[in-house]
């Protein structure tokens, strides 16, 4: 008696077909959504980079040119030679043609110094943020003391308050300390904003590491500080990198507090100076966009260098282990 092949029921075949079609539709929807999201996110950045290499005439042309017809480095050259140009006044601006891209804002000579100020502030905030936040997070995560839970809730409470509500208290404190119009005024206020986030992220990460590691280090003769440096810091590198990136970007891009506490070019940071380019006699979009390209270079470099740790660090510190 020969074995006849068993034919699946028609309902089973239809179910499998519908399941395959559903998977295909799902993948198509995900792909289309990802493409739309990528275009939405990358389009402004692409236009910023493209227009930095265009003349003023090309930028204001209709339709816009996504690819420059005649790419030029003149906008970037103007940034590095702005200090050599004569100051712009009401009388001299009539001889300047903004459409030709020859108009240089009067504050352009302060662009590179302001980038240096931003870099100094961001670097100091990152270093001091780690020096304060890492020991605090380790102590809360691994040392049982009275008021520990209240400390965690207090840290979370500080992040609920919007930054704009803290401007007046910050201003009064900075004025009393005599630090107005200095870089230290920004460092102190940025630490108040970034340290709670650092402590919260690292608390979750340290609590996810076994307590036996801490006990073993103490048995081997390590102090609390030695256990933190030799045991926990090497294991928490991804979370530390995420904290460094967040702190650097927050300090580099912050505008409101820098606007309140700095008045002169000696202490103004890059966001404040870029905003000043739009308050002159006229606006050179080509020059402004070239300055914007320079402004995004340091954060992009930091993100590329630490890219492998960013996602793992944020997810590791977001939930309890």
Say if CB 275 and CB 254 are below 8 A apart.
Answer: no
Q: Which residue has the tokens 């914007």?
A: 292
Taking the C-alpha atoms of residue 269 and residue 258, their distance in angstroms, rounded to an integer, is 7
User: Quick one: pLDDT at residue 319?
Assistant: 46
pLDDT range class, residue 2, cuts 50, 70, 90: low
Token digits of residue 189: 């206020």
Say if CB 65 and CB 58 are below 8 A apart.
Answer: yes
Closest CA to 252 of 287, 294, 310: 294
User: Quick one: pLDDT at residue 1?
Assistant: 47
Q: How many CB atoms lie within 10 A of CB 187?
A: 20
Say if CB 100 and CB 193 are below 8 A apart.
Answer: no
User: Quick one: pLDDT at residue 312?
Assistant: 59
Taking the C-alpha atoms of residue 238 and residue 168, their distance in angstroms, rounded to an integer, is 36
If you compute the radius of gyration of the chain from its CA atoms, what whole number of angstroms results?
A: 27
Note the pTM of the prediction, 2 decimals.
Answer: 0.78
Taking the C-alpha atoms of residue 250 and residue 259, their distance in angstroms, rounded to an integer, is 15
CATH of domain 108-320: 1.10.3720.10
pLDDT range class, residue 94, cuts 50, 70, 90: very low
User: Tell me: the pLDDT tens digits for 219-267?
Assistant: 888 788 888 888 888 888 888 888 888 899 899 999 989 988 988 888 8
């Amino acid at each position: 008696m020969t074995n006849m092949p068993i034919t699946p029921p028609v309902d089973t075949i239809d179910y499998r077909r519908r399941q395959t079609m559903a998977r295909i539709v799902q993948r198509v929807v995900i792909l289309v959504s990802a493409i739309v999201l990528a275009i939405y996110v990358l389009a402004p950045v692409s236009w910023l980079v493209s227009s930095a290499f265009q003349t003023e005439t090309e930028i204001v042309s209709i339709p816009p040119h996504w690819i420059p017809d005649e790419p030029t480095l003149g906008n970037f050259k103007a940034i590095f030679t702005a200090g050599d140009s004569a100051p712009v006044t009401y009388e001299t601006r009539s001889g300047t043609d903004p459409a030709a891209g020859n108009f240089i804002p009067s504050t352009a000579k302060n662009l590179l110094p302001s980038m240096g100020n931003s870099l100094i502030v961001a670097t100091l905030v990152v270093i001091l943020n780690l020096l304060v936040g890492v020991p605090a997070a380790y102590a809360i995560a691994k040392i049982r003391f009275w008021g520990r839970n209240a400390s965690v809730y207090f840290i979370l409470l500080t992040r609920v308050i919007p930054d704009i509500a803290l401007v007046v208290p910050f201003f009064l404190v900075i004025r009393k300390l005599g630090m107005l119009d200095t870089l230290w005024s920004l460092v102190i206020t940025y630490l108040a904003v970034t340290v709670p986030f650092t402590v919260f992220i690292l608390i979750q990460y340290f609590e996810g590491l076994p307590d036996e590691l801490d006990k073993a280090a103490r048995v081997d003769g390590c102090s609390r500080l030695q256990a933190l440096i030799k045991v926990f810091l090497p294991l928490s590198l991804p979370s530390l990198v995420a904290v460094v990136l967040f702190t650097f970007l927050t300090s580099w891009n912050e505008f409101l507090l820098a606007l309140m506490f700095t008045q002169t070019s000696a202490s103004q940071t890059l966001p404040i100076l870029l905003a000043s380019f739009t308050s002159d006699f006229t606006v050179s979009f080509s020059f402004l966009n070239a300055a914007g390209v320079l402004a995004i270079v340091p954060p992009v470099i930091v993100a590329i260098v630490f890219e492998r740790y960013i996602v793992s660090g944020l997810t590791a510190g977001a939930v309890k282990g």
